Amino acid sequence: MKIPTGLALNLLHRCSAGTLATHSVALPGYPFASTLPFATDSRHRPLFLISQLAEHTRNLDSDPRASLALADPDALHAENAARLTMIGDVTRIDIDSATRDRYLRYLPHAALYLELGDFAFYRLEPRRIRLVAGFGRMGWIEHDVLESLPVLEADAEAERLAALAADSGICGLDRFGIDFVQDGERRRSDFADALDDDALSRFLQQRTAPI
């Protein structure tokens, strides 16, 4: 069954943490699962800021193959929740300042970890996404579909957000929606269609108050 990519993006952006499964070094052949906070980059790829002392970091440095499992944070019952598993490779990256600032908008407390010096950024490069969006609504989203999505680069995003009020509560903006914090929880408002530069400008001009 073909799954609309927007459903996966919505869930991916609303979750502030997920379960990352790596290949155990200590017990070869067994998966090692750990819960980690994350934020997405401008191409919707999960970013992790992780300690070099962590077990999952040791595992990733040995074998980058991993999967990230997410579930709808607002669901009352796990068995009925929309859920997503992203399969790909998690590798250490050198992060640019615009992407670093984007990460800290989503997870401001992470600034403390950056000061410690032993934390580094890792990124999950997806190969496939398995999405279960409800009864009878499930399927795979392939890498080439994700790669073809229109992108708002992090520096262009930062320039647009800088024009908004400092207390807007907005974490991020992309072609498909806007992410914000409401009552301490991460939320997302999807656009009906992917917006080009002109449409994004009109959207932000019309926005006069926090969502």
Q: Considering the domain delimited by 5-149, tell me its CATH architecture.
A: Roll (2.30)
Local confidence band at 1 (pLDDT 50, 70, 90 cut-offs): low
Residue 120 has pLDDT above 90, yes or no: yes
Local confidence band at 210 (pLDDT 50, 70, 90 cut-offs): very low
Q: Three-state SS string across the chain, please?
A: CCCCHHHHHHHHHHCCEEEEEEECCCCCCCEEEEEEECEECCCCCEEEEEECCCHHHHHHHHCCEEEEEEECCCCCCHHHCCEEEEEEEEEECCCCHHHHHHHHHHCHHHHHHHHHCCEEEEEEEEEEEEEEEECCEEEEEEHHHHHCCCCCCHHHHHHHHCCCCCCCCEEEEECCEEEEEECCEEEEEECCCCCCHHHHHHHHHHCCCCC
Residue 163 has pLDDT above 60, yes or no: yes
Residue 181 has pLDDT above 90, yes or no: no
* 171-195 average pLDDT score: 92
Q: pTM here?
A: 0.92
